[in-house]
Amino acid sequence: MTLSESAAAPVNEVVLEAVGLTKHFPVRKRLRDLFSRTPTAVHAVDDVSFALRRGQVTALVGESGSGKSTVARLLAQLHRRTAGDIRLHGVSTTVRGGRAFRSYVRRVQLILQDPFASLNPVHTIRYHLTRSLRIHGNAGRTAEDLEKALGELLTRVSLTPAERYLDAFPHELSGGQRQRVAIARALGADPEVLLADEPVSMLDVSIRLGVLNLLRDLKDRLNLAILYITHDIASARYFADETIVMYAGRMVEGGDSETVTQNPAHPYTRLLIESAPDPDRITGAADATGQDRGNGEPPSLIRPPAGCRFHPRCPHVMPRCKVDLPLRLEIADRPGHWAACWLYDPATVAAEGSASAAPDADPTIGPPPAARTGPRSSAPAVPLIHRAEDAR
């Protein structure tokens, strides 16, 4: 068995890269649109770029429908992309089935949200793991090799003694144990990248931490690059080195997890953090105003709003936001922290003045980013600035 403790490989080396990744799903036209020439499509993912590095967890955070799973499926080569590129070790990669797909999957494995649906109920754990080892050429030559490899896989995911689990059926295991089996099956390929699409969302709260800790331990020991998809930004802070926030198919903010979660710059990230249930706030002054903290619904992705897709919900909306697509603008508080938001454009701030940069500011979600104070805002009152388009 070749499960490598790949300590020799350089840490932080980019393994898999999304470059301007875009996916539009065509939709069938309604009768009254039949003669219109405009193609109709769900703009599920638009211009998404990030890099997954060895020994690092990158979190992709956003509410339901923001395009997170589509990004995972594109990276797993399960969808054909509309535009953009996927680079594995710097090489542009497009595979459709066959041997090339198998060789890609050996390096990039996808773990899904529902471990019960992803395991076949009529087969034992031994069957699932053996199949993965065989397909990816890690089963060894003899029956003993195989048995040893199976034992190693289950030990890696802390299902010991292995004999207790090997001949069990999925329904005989708990949700957490099933997810561990799904992870073991992915490890059977000896991958470099794990794409974990909401891997703990279906699990009881009490066992989520155990599975996240397991993934973190595997990342360290096997030097894996992990994409951790979640709608729970708090878990991203705990688990991920880097966090990227998506809204309605576009990336709106990114940076190291601590900065993005503790010092969020984009109004959407701030809303996401503020809308997590907090017992102190439920009885707090903000609630007394009777304002809706949720502040609206995500937009239609068939006709997404022009300019910034968040503008219809944004408490700091400016006329420009309704027309111009915001660029990624670097925030001066930490290297690598950026937001796609005009509030951080020097021209906007100069024109509006930092105090009035947020004319419609909603008091329920705190001061506009440009006016933040507090221990982390060693950033200037105008936390600017240069274009980060090239810094992908």
Ligand X SMILES: Nc1ncnc2c1ncn2[C@@H]1O[C@H](COP(=O)(O)OP(=O)(O)O)[C@@H](O)[C@H]1O
Amino acid 338 reads W
The reply to whether 66 sits near Mg ion by the rule CB under 5 A is: no
Q: Indicate the SS3 state at residue 341.
A: coil
Q: Which is nearer to ligand X, 44 or 314 (CB)?
A: 44
DSSP label at 387? B
Query: Which residue, among 73, 76, 58, 172, has the nearest Cα to 126 in the 3D structure?
Result: 172
Angstrom distance (rounded) from CA 338 to CA 48: 14
Smallest distance, Å, CB 67 to Mg ion?
Answer: 9
Smallest distance, Å, CB 8 to Mg ion?
Answer: 35
Burial of 375 (0-12, 13-18, 19+ CB in 10 A): exposed
Would you tell me how many other CB atoms lie within 10 Å of the CB of residue 104? 16
> Of 133, 236, 244, 301, which one interacts with ligand X (CB under 6 A)?
301
The reply to whether 299 sits near ligand X by the rule CB under 6 A is: no
Q: Take residue 101 and report the two structure tokens written for it.
A: 């797909």
Q: Which element (helix H / strand E) includes 14? A: strand 14-26
Q: Which is nearer to ligand X, 42 or 88 (CB)?
A: 42
User: CB of 190 within 8 A of CB of 182?
Assistant: no
Angstrom distance (rounded) from CA 343 to CA 355: 11
> Of 56, 69, 109, 263, which one interacts with Mg ion (CB under 5 A)?
69
Angstrom distance (rounded) from CA 216 to CA 27: 39
Lay out the site mask for ligand X across 245-284 (x = CB under 6 A, - = otherwise). ----------------------------------------
Name the binder of 101 from ligand X, Mg ion, none, CB < 5-8 A by kind.
none
Which of these ranges, 65-73, 278-286, 349-357, 373-381, lies near ligand X under the rule CB under 6 A? Answer: 65-73
> Of 24, 58, 62, 179, which one interacts with ligand X (CB under 6 A)?
62
The reply to whether 70 sits near ligand X by the rule CB under 6 A is: yes
Q: Which is nearer to Mg ion, 60 or 129 (CB)?
A: 60
The reply to whether 199 sits near ligand X by the rule CB under 6 A is: no
Angular region, 266: left φ>0, alpha ψ -120 to 50, beta rest: beta
Which of these ranges, 6-14, 67-75, 145-153, 317-325, lies near ligand X under the rule CB under 6 A? Answer: 67-75
Q: Take residue 130 and report the two structure tokens written for it.
A: 């053996």
The reply to whether 66 sits near ligand X by the rule CB under 6 A is: yes
Residues 10-29 that bind ligand X (CB under 6 A): 25
Report the interface residues with Mg ion, using CB under 5 A. 69
Report the interface residues with ligand X, using CB under 6 A. 25, 42, 44, 62, 64-70, 301
